[in-house]
Structure 1
């Protein structure tokens, strides 16, 4: 994916430097980066997306960046994505903002469904986001680490992403930490970022009354169950933790029957509550 992303980023007039974190890859990525002359750091072990963003954001701030544009290697910003984000940072004082993240296979749909502010409605269609926008923004909503801009001031106030989360939930935790710090957060609706639609995010359950972030990957599910439990406990309270556990049990008994996922979820949640962030390693290959 970097072979597609890096040339695109090199066309961005607003970028001063491109920094790539090579997360202990074994597929020739490091050799390609060196051959292309891309500034990068190769980590000694696989630290997951959370570790990569922790390292990359810290590296950029240490190098004196005032604004950092964060993304994985599998996304692709539109040509005007960065200028549109920069314009709103300057105009509206946004500290943590991002584009609308669209499904690459169907740009009329969001890659990750969002809950609109002020209610419980979850939307999947870009048209619904455009209709809900005020002055081109969806306030207090952003899909972290998918083409998001983060200010130096915010990083200095709230720190770096939690690298121990490995994958799944590190982005939400960072968003909720920013909210707690009073950051100015928004999605810039006219700025677009394409991302492959994967997994079954937002799978309807309980007769369509709510959704569940199902994934076929045991690694991702383990990290999701562990990290979501911790996030909900820290930022939303035990009632939300209990509701999440109830949804997990319902989902894997009735919606997508996989009873083995229930004890796996319980072990993951218990490990997180103990402060043990090593359990996911057994799923790594």
Structure 2
């Protein structure tokens, strides 16, 4: 009889910044998760005592960075550490989400079918609703309700759809082939770029519908515009918007082409001219787009303070 296959070494990679209470909640849940070999936490130079708390957690591999590198820099560092520590599978998540009971086990039922796959990401305040609206394969409109996702699933899976870096599994083999997230992105779009890079490399992606990851619904993601024919990812934060406009421009140019960049510019102008008029936000958008096209990833720093 051949020997039983060696179970994969699964390492959770968590990125945190100034949300110690939420981080502690997440770590408590991860500690209760079977089959998880190790937890790596990357602290983006928090000022709320997170670094000191991590230093006291003997069962974690905690790393506090010298400066805030955002989610992009945090996942870049965390994934590198996890790979160095022998991870076969990397389980990626931010500090404010939390996996539902059985999330990892349900994902692992599909090990070998995918290279980059994850759970359904639900709004923590209303779990019947998706935290991030998604476009189902073969459909033009986005969906917001979990019931629509369940109805569209094939054998419990939505193929070719995944919400990156929210409880997703990435194989070490894939990370070895395509590299790490683009740390210069800081926040917003780094996860999408990594997903699109994965697909370009032939990665198999999907969402396991019965596996759930809870995340607080924040900002005005998927705000309708153009009389409901499309949506726009508005954020009241100038930092988030600047990074979104800059990084989205780069991603669309590199992976979707100039017509997609033009469509994004039209949506941005429409949104801040008609949907939520804001001349200042239009100027900021133009500045961010120019920075992205120039390859300048420094402009966000003025919003960080201190």
Q: Distance in 2 between matches of 1:54 and 1:126?
A: 31
SS at match of 1:19: strand
CA displacement, residues 35-92 of structure 1 (integer Å, 9 cap, x when unaligned): 23232111111000000011111111111111010000100001100000011114xx
Partner of 1:40: 62
Gaps of 5+ in 2: 1-21
1:24 counterpart residue number: 45
Partner of 2:274: 254
C-alpha deviations, 1:114-138, integer Å up to 9, x for none? 0111121200000000001111111
Q: Does 1:89 align with 2:111?
A: yes
- 2:161 maps to which residue? 141
Alignment of 1:51-66 (within 5 A): 51-66=73-88
Residues in 2 aligned to 1:157 and 1:266: alpha-carbon distance in whole angstroms: 35
1:126-161: per-residue Cα shift (whole Å, max 9, x none)? 000000111111111100000000001110111100
Distance in 2 between residues matched to 1:233 and 1:39, nearest whole Å: 37
Choose from 24, 29, 32 the match for 1:3: 24
2:229 paired residue number? 209
Q: Distance in 2 between matches of 1:235 and 1:102?
A: 27
Which residue in 2 is equivalent to 1:120? 140
Match of 1:269 in 2: 289
Match of 2:257 among 231, 237, 244: 237
Per-residue displacement from partner, 1:243-266 (whole Å, max 9, x unpaired)?
100100000000011121111111
Cα offset, 1:10, TM superposition: 0.6
1:159 aligns to 2:174 (yes or no) = no
Secondary structure at the aligned position of 1:260 is classed as helix
Which 10-residue stretch deviates more, 27-36 or 77-86? 27-36
Distance 2:260 2:61 in 1: 42
Q: Distance in 2 between matches of 1:241 and 1:114?
A: 20
Match of 2:193 among 155, 173, 185: 173
Q: Aligned partners of 1:13 and 1:248: how far apart in 2?
A: 45
Structure 1 stretches of at least 4 aligned residues deviating more than 6 Å after TM superposition: none
1:271 counterpart SS class: helix
Counterpart-to-counterpart distance in 1, 2:156 and 2:80: 30
Q: What is the number of equivalent residue pairs in this alignment?
A: 283
Question: Which of 128, 148, 171 pairs up with 1:108?
Answer: 128
> Residue 213 of structure 2 aligns to a residue in which SS?
strand
* TM-score, reference length from structure 2: 0.91
- Residue 75 of structure 1: aligned partner: 97
Between Structure 1 and Structure 2, the one with more helix by share is: 1
State the Cα distance separating 1:3 from its structure 2 match.
1.2
Unmatched tracts of structure 1, length 5 or more: none
C-alpha separation in 2, matches of 1:200 and 1:13: 35
